Amino acid sequence: MDEIEKLKGLLEEMPARKLGAKLQKLMPTIDQRLRDGITQEEIVEMLNANGFSVNINTFRTNLYRYRKSIEVKTCSQEMKQTNSNLPVSAIKDQDQELIAPTLDDMLDAKKRDEFSEKYMNRKPSIFKKERSET
């Protein structure tokens, strides 16, 4: 175990070689400064003056990717918190239809069959009218 932790420490100390990886480490601070009112151009100028070679388009792409990853992480955490204590039968929308079964439900043969029957069998259309002969 001690050797593994030592190797992890050494790997973390290795400098990143790619620009995107270097920028990702700075993105939380950069994002906060942008929200404080500093322009993207000013940040790019500061980065270029301190050893980074980045143009504005590359910076914007990396900023977009960072913000998108934060958004995805936040949404998935909220979904886990919302649905973590509810059984699958309690996760329903307003029409009382099942939204998403859990993995445990799909591994349970009976629940899996019920789910399949519900969505795989076609029901006749309710809009179809039989015409009477007159």
Cα 109 → chain centroid: 30
Q: What was the pLDDT predicted at 94?
A: 46
Query: Which range of residues forms the domain containing residue 94?
Result: 86-122
In total, how many domains does the chain have?
A: 2
Kindly state whether residues 80 and 34 are assigned to the same domain.
yes
Q: Quote the CA–CA distance of 67 and 45 in Å, as a whole number.
A: 21
Kindly state whether residues 80 and 96 are assigned to the same domain.
no
Find where tokens 């029957």 sit: 117
Kindly state whether residues 96 and 67 are assigned to the same domain.
no
Kindly state whether residues 69 and 27 are assigned to the same domain.
yes
* Residues in the chain, overall count: 134
Can you list the residues of the chain whose pLDDT is less than 70?
Answer: 1, 78-101, 119, 121-134
Q: What was the pLDDT predicted at 126?
A: 67
Q: What was the pLDDT predicted at 97?
A: 53
Kindly state whether residues 108 and 94 are assigned to the same domain.
yes
Q: Is 9 inside any structural domain?
A: no
pLDDT tens per residue, range 75-88: 777 666 665 555 54
Q: Is 127 inside any structural domain?
A: no
Q: What was the pLDDT predicted at 103?
A: 79
Contact present, 109 and 117 (Cβ < 8 Å) = no
